[in-house]
Amino acid sequence: MASSLIRGKYVVCRAVGDDESEVISDGAVFQRDGEIVEIGRYDDLKARHEPDEVIGSPDFVVIPGLINAHHHIGLTPFQLGSPDLPLEPWVIAKLAQRDVDPYLDTLYCAMQMIESGITTVMHNHALRWRPEGVSLDDWGASLIEAYEASGMRVAFSLFNRDRNHLVSEDNEQFMSTLPAGLVGLIRESFPFSPVSSSEHLDLTAELIRRKQSDRVRVFISAHNVHWCSDQMLRDVKEFAGKHETGLHIHVQETIYQKMYGTRHWGKTPLAHLDDLGFLGPEVSVAHGVWFTDSDIDLMAETGTTLCHNPSSNLRLSSGVAPVNRMLDRRVTVALGIDEAGINDDNDILQEMRLAQKVHREPGVGVGSPSSHKIFDMATRAGAEVTFFGNQVGTLEVGKRADVVLVDLSRITEPYLHPDTNIVDALVYRGKGTDVDTVIVDGEVLMRGRKLTRVNKPEVHAELKASLGQPLKPHELRRIELSRELLPHVNRWFANWDMERNPAHYAYNARA
Ligand SMILES: [Zn+2]
């Protein structure tokens, strides 16, 4: 029986409504074997229980573990040599990235996430090119094993695609516009779908059988509407129903993706998904930047949820998602960092701050998310979209003890007005580096900013050594391919007749 009493100057249990949170001053959480047994005043709980240890002090605020609801890889694209570009050329520029060992890469990022207070992540992994020497079965499993080693919770999915890999058009049609030498290079080195649709489903079913556990949920995923045939979309939907699991997909991340819908179906990609019977409460959609009012209605009516990624949307010139309109319609909105974040370091407290500020539309009396709403997005809503909703996301008796202690010293020193709400203080001033202790299922994963399960210097050294090796011939070919292909992709998109859309937010105007 392992028990602990986790104390802080404040315990923020959960957001209540849109504008307040349930907070206990001089509070504590008593957990036994990973289950929250009682929450209350520290003095009362100390008198009633005999914990194995007391964690924390009045120097901390105690919060539920934070949840990153959309994530892909460890070392960021920028670290791997791909600076920000608009998404369409960016996905081509990323071909130049080198292979990274999937286990080490995931462990690297899990450490970074734990260090910023993230206890649960939605990891959505591309079935693109497989690193050398890794079998198909081990490819997905090794990623989950990295999370198992770190102690984090993960909702894990592999995503596939089966068309329009180069631009938003049939591959052969686009290639017919390219020089013959480049077409040869593409056929030789471009990572078209290396895995068939049925292999993807079988692999995911196998991962569910082998890897599903208290801390691991295995979801199914399709990449994005324009990259997936209707058959693939129907198949993943059916799979999610049969296995009673979650379904994750990118939708309308960029204006080009929205316009693809207009060109091909005379409606938005989300409306097309609705025609296929795809939407529903088990479906979480990443981005949704280019949602129309009727898309937002569809999200609300079908109970489909959104994973909002403000940093990514700014970095890849995608735009600003109409989150205020979605919150007005009571769509569940969770928060994701999409593998990098604005500081390129997966700091979710920074992402919470950005999410709050970016939705402040000009004008007195114009609503925008309160700190409590943002806190709810990064906790309870994240738990809902990752299917851990009954277990984590809030501090409540009977839930699992996923708890984070944030050091208040930098946030409050030398002075912070005593009337400041603690949730405001966290969202306005908190940084990942203020996170001191991270607990999952009652188990301490980081204490005093030192990770307990993973040896960080060793992981960094291994990554450095493996990435210090000379580039392999297939990596050099991909670099050449990226360099040759990029101008053609840029030209192809630059020729689009851009759709004029009424904006959800009036940020500014010109005469
Ligand atoms: Zn993404």
If 0-12 CB within 10 Å is exposed, 13-18 middle and 19+ buried, where does residue 490 land?
middle
Write down the pLDDT at residue 184.
Answer: 96
Per the omega criterion (within 30 degrees of 0), is the bond before 281 cis? no
Q: What is the Å distance from ligand 1's center to 199 Cα?
A: 22
Which residue blocks in 276-385 are alpha helix, DSSP H? 293-302, 310-315, 323-328, 348-358, 371-376, 382-385
- E strand or H helix at 113: helix 102-115
Average pLDDT, the chain: 96
β-bridge mates for residue 437, sequence order: 405
Average pLDDT over residues 206-210: 96
In the reported structure, the alpha carbon of residue 70 is separated from the centroid of ligand 1 by a whole-number distance in angstroms of: 6
> Quick one: which of 289, 401, 346 has its CA closest to 110?
346
Q: What domains does the chain contain, in order, with CATH numbers? A: 3-64+406-456 (2.30.40.10), 66-385 (3.20.20.140)
Q: Cis check for the bond before 473: say yes or no (omega within 30 of 0).
A: no
Separation of 454 CA from ligand 1 center, angstroms?
26
- Closest of 194, 196, 221 to residue 207, by C-alpha: 221
Q: Which two tokens stand for residue 457?
A: 């210097």
CA 483, 485, 491, 492 torsion: positive or negative? negative
CA torsion sign for 132, 337, 272, 92 is negative
pLDDT tens, position by position, 338-377: 999 999 999 999 999 999 999 999 999 999 999 999 999 9
User: What pLDDT sits at residue 254?
Assistant: 97
**What number is the average pLDDT over the span 202-226?**
97
CA of 466 to the centre of ligand 1 (A): 26
Distance 240 CA to ligand 1 centre (A): 20
Distance 174 CA to ligand 1 centre (A): 24
436 alpha carbon – ligand 1 mean position (Å): 28
Write out pLDDT tens, residues 63-94: 999 999 999 999 999 999 999 999 999 999 99
Pairing state of beta strands 443-447 and 435-440?
antiparallel
Is the pLDDT at 1 greater than 60? The verdict is no
200 CA → ligand 1 middle, Å = 19
Q: Which two tokens mark 162?
A: 């089966």
* Residue 446 · residue 437 · CB < 8 Å: yes
Distance 71 CA to ligand 1 centre (A): 6
The maximal CA–CA distance of the chain, rounded, in angstroms, is 79
Give the start-end residues of each E strand in 243-294: 247-251, 283-287
DSSP secondary structure letters along 85-110: --HHHHHHHGGGPPP--HHHHHHHHH
CA 39 to centroid of ligand 1, rounded, Å? 36
- Global pTM value: 0.97
Query: How much distance in Å is there from the Cα of 187 to the middle of ligand 1?
Result: 26
DSSP code at position 378: I
**CA 179 – CA 34 distance, rounded (Å):** 61
278-301 average pLDDT score: 98
CA of 60 from ligand 1 middle (Å) equals: 33
Sheet strands side by side (includes 3-16):
35-41, 20-32, 3-16, 53-64, 403-407, 435-440, 443-447, 450-451
Instruction: Determine the pLDDT at residue 477.
Output: 95
Which residues lie across from 155 on neighbouring strands? 122, 217
Helices 456-467 and 102-115 cross at an angle (nearest 10°) of 140
CA of 286 to the centre of ligand 1 (A): 7
Place of tokens 């999409």: 338
**Pick the residue with more confidence: 218 or 193?**
218
